[in-house]
Amino acid sequence: MSEPVTMLETPIRIDYEFTAGLAQSRYLKGIAEGRFLGQRCPKCGKVYVPPRGSCPTDGVPTTDEVVLGNTGIVTTYCVVNVPFQGQSIELPYICAQILLDGANIAFMGLIQEVPTDEIRMGMRVEAVWVDKKELGPTMASVKYFRPSGESDAAYETYSEYL
């Protein structure tokens, strides 16, 4: 007689079609061209990236498109040391909130080409893209961010985005 059953695998899966919507479709087409597109709120002037098509504060459409820089600031970060299922990046790696130049909201990005004990708040980083012919409307077009070599941003320049 074999061993008693003590564990059970429970698969949970959902297949669906994701519709990006107008604003994110614009954003993803910008990504396919190797640039970050944001949208500015006509009322408060804040620039959102990725854009959702409206300002969460003012509730108005953000129709004004803004081309953002390829560089930004690490506002905060996390060094990932714990393996998990489906992981594709070699441990340890750095996951950071990045405030792109010209944007008023940070987004999450992978940081590479820096030892994990050298990452810090305020570090200036730049996006590294895949080869031009591999660019597509997917975030996989941005390979990662790496230190740009510029001096760190002063805390006051990003403190309101933490």
Partner 1 sequence: MAESEVLRAPHRIEYTYTRSVGPIIGAFLTGLRDGKILGATTPGGRVVVPPTEYDPITSEDIGELVEVGPSGVVTTWAWTDTPLPDQPLDRPFAWALVQLDGADTGMLHAVDAAGPRAMASGMRVTARWRPAGERIGHLRDIECFEAEGAG
Site string for partner 1, 121-140 (x = CB under 8 A): ----------------x---
Q: Pairing relation of β-strands 93-100 and 71-80?
A: antiparallel
Does residue 82 touch partner 1 according to CB under 8 A? Answer: no
By beta-carbon proximity to partner 1, the closer residue of 9 and 90 is: 9
- What distance in Å separates the CA atoms of residue 51 and residue 26, rounded to the nearest whole number? 9
- What distance in Å separates the CA atoms of residue 114 and residue 108, rounded to the nearest whole number? 17
Using CB under 8 A, pick the residue from 81, 82, 85, 160 that binds partner 1: 85
Is there a contact between 80 and 93 (Cβ–Cβ < 8 Å)? Answer: yes
Does residue 160 touch partner 1 according to CB under 8 A? Answer: no
Q: DSSP for 56-82?
A: TTT--B--EEEEPPSEEEEEEEEEE--
Does residue 6 touch partner 1 according to CB under 8 A? Answer: yes
Residue 52: CB minimum distance to partner 1, A: 14
Residues at the contact surface with partner 1, assessed by CB under 8 A: 1-2, 4-22, 24-26, 28-29, 85-86, 137
